[in-house]
């Protein structure tokens, strides 16, 4: 009986510790002296050798000094699909690259930060598996560099589960609807065609399509020089580049995005209100650009 109580106490303590533990938004993996192209290839190889699948890469804002590599894994995709409220938005993890002088800073989005912020109801059921995926991703990057300095802000599991930037600001659940289609297949066809044509000065970075679940996620580069990444990234800070690209999700016959006032804020948690005011129009601009992808 005493042994059972001890085990129970350890389990409860571990769960409480996970709730209280602060999660850093990003990790600085290393500063590489390799070229941007070589640094990207090294990271892609490390991910693939660790069982991850690279699903896309691009230069945010069309800048040669910035790059992002997106990756996933089948077990993560399966877990993400089990969350009916846009869970598949968290199926894509990201590595960021920022060239400064003759070196490249390599960073990674902390998987647990993303998981706690996007997997709301029922995350405890999958927590052990999610921690394993996160640890495996970090172990893959430890083959690239050993710095692993946390940066970009820290929030606890409890804070991430209920995240909103300020009072009256949206939560994860407050997704913005872009369009309703006659069917999932019709919506998929329209969005893919518009991305292929670069409508609204956009570009497809990755797509994750699950026809049997009628779910599709698109990582979208927003390349409009006036309203897109070239405009807002220099203002809110390019160190957090592993937050990009922005996502659009089609579930059933409905296309939605996370509101910019949530999506940008949780990705830049140290953003001051003064800086946020400088991009007041950006959340609306992003919605407009994404909306263009849902109409012929």
114: domain CATH number is: 3.30.310.70
Q: Whole-prediction pTM value?
A: 0.92
In a domain, 191, yes or no: yes
pLDDT score recorded for residue 16: 46
In a domain, 16, yes or no: no
pLDDT score recorded for residue 159: 97
In a domain, 126, yes or no: yes
In a domain, 272, yes or no: yes
Residue in 281, 245, 278, 289 with CA at minimum distance from that of residue 263:
245
In a domain, 9, yes or no: no
pLDDT score recorded for residue 15: 47
In a domain, 15, yes or no: no
Q: How distant, in Å, are the alpha carbons of 96, 107, 118 from that of 242?
A: 4, 7, 16
> Taking the CA of residue 286 as centre, how many other CA atoms within 13 Å lie in the half-sphere pointing to its CB?
28
Question: If residue 231 lies in a helix (H) or strand (E), which one and from where to where?
Answer: helix 229-236
Find the domain containing 246 and state its range: 23-161+168-292
Q: Buried b / exposed e across 76-100, counting CB within 10 Å, b at 16+? A: bbebbbebeebbbbbbbbbbbbbbe
Q: Buried b / exposed e across 223-251, counting CB within 10 Å, b at 16+? A: bbeebbbbbbbeebebbbbbbbbbbbbbb
Contact between 165 and 70 (Cβ < 8 Å): no
In a domain, 6, yes or no: no
**E-state strands within the chain:** 22-32, 53-58, 66-72, 93-100, 103-109, 149-156, 176-180, 202-210, 215-222, 246-251, 254-257
Instruction: Pick out the chain residues at pLDDT < 70.
Output: 1-20
Contact between 175 and 259 (Cβ < 8 Å): yes
Q: What is the pLDDT of residues 23-81, one digit of tens each?
A: 999 999 999 999 999 999 999 999 999 999 999 999 999 999 999 999 999 999 999 99
**Number of independent structural domains in the chain:** 1
The two three-digit tokens of residue 256, written as one number: 């939605």
pLDDT score recorded for residue 17: 52
pLDDT score recorded for residue 11: 44
In a domain, 14, yes or no: no
């Amino acid at each position: 009986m005493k042994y059972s109580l001890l085990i129970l106490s350890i389990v409860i303590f571990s769960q409480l510790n996970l709730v209280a533990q602060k999660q850093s938004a990003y990790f600085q993996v290393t500063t590489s002296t390799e070229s941007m192209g070589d640094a990207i290839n090294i990271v892609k190889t490390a991910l693939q050798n660790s069982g991850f699948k690279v699903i896309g890469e691009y230069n945010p804002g069309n800048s040669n000094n910035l790059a992002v590599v997106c990756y996933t894994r089948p077990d993560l995709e399966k877990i993400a699909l089990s969350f009916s409220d846009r869970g598949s938005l968290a199926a894509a993890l990201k590595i960021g690259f920022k060239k400064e002088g003759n070196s490249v800073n390599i960073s990674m989005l902390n998987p647990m930060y993303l998981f706690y912020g996007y997997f709301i109801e029922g995350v405890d059921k999958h927590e052990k598996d999610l921690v394993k995926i996160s640890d495996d991703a970090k172990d893959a990057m430890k083959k690239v560099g050993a710095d692993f300095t946390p940066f970009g802000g820290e929030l606890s599991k409890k804070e991430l589960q209920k995240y909103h930037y300020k009072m009256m600001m949206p939560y994860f659940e407050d997704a913005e609807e872009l369009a309703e289609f006659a069917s999932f297949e019709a919506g998929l066809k329209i969005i893919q065609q518009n991305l292929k044509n670069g409508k609204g000065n956009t570009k497809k970075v990755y797509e994750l399509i699950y026809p049997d679940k009628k779910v599709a996620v698109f990582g979208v580069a927003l390349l409009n020089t006036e309203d897109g990444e070239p405009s807002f990234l220099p203002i809110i800070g390019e160190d957090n580049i592993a937050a990009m690209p922005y996502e659009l999700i089609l579930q059933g016959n409905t296309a939605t995005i996370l509101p910019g006032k949530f999506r940008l804020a949780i990705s830049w948690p140290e953003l001051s209100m003064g800086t946020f005011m400088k991009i007041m129009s950006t959340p609306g601009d992003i919605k407009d650009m994404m909306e263009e992808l849902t109409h012929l």
